[in-house]
Amino acid sequence: MKANSALRFRLYPNRVQAERLTLWSHTCRAVWNIALAQRIWAYRSAQRATVRAAEQCIGLTEARREHDWLRDLPAQCAQQVLRQLDAGYDNFWNPQHPAGFPQFKRKHHRQGVAFPGQVVQVRRVTRRMAQVRLPKLGWVRFRLSRPIDATVRNAAISRDGLGWHVTFGVHQPEPEELPVNTGEPVGVDVGIACSVFVSNEATERQRPDTLTSGEYERLRGLEQRKARQIAFAKKHNGGKYPNRLRRTIKQIAALKARQSRRRADWNHKLTDDLTKNHGLVAVEDLRVSNMVCTGRGTLGQPGTNVRQKAGLNRSIADQGWFEIRRQLGYKVRRYGGELVVVSAAGSSQTCSKCRIRDPKSREGCGRLFACVHCGHTEHADRNAAAIILDRAFSTAGRKPTAEWEAGISTSGGADSQSTRSPYAGRGTRTGSRLREPSSNVTAARHRGISHHSGRRGRQSYRNTRRVMPGGSVDLSVLDEEQR
Q: What is the mean pLDDT of each run of 10 residues along the chain (483 residues)?
A: 88 95 95 95 87 93 94 94 94 90 88 91 93 95 92 92 93 83 91 90 90 94 96 90 93 94 94 92 90 84 86 89 92 90 89 87 82 88 90 76 52 35 36 36 38 38 35 37 38
DSSP character at residue 299:
S
Burial of 409 by CB count in 10 Å (0-12 exposed, 13-18 middle, 19+ buried)? exposed
Neighbours of 335 (CB within 10 A): 18
| Cα–Cα dist 409/354, whole Å | 10
> What is the pLDDT, as a whole number, of residue 395?
78
**Segment holding 442, helix H or strand E:** helix 440-446
The SS3 call for residue 134 is: strand
CB 181 within 8 A of CB 279: yes
- For residue 400, the model assigns a pLDDT of 67
Q: What is the pLDDT of residue 265?
A: 93
Query: Of 218, 240, 245, 216, nearest to 229 (Cα)?
Result: 245
Q: Please tell me the distance from the alpha carbon of residue 152 to that of residue 282, in angstroms, as a whole number.
A: 34
Please provide the distance, in angstroms rounded to a whole number, between the alpha carbons at the two ends of the chain. Answer: 59
Task: Provide the strand spans (E) within 209-348.
Answer: 280-284, 338-342
- Residue 402: predicted pLDDT: 57
pTM across the whole model: 0.77
Q: Give the separation between CA 301 and CA 123, rounded to whole angstroms.
A: 61
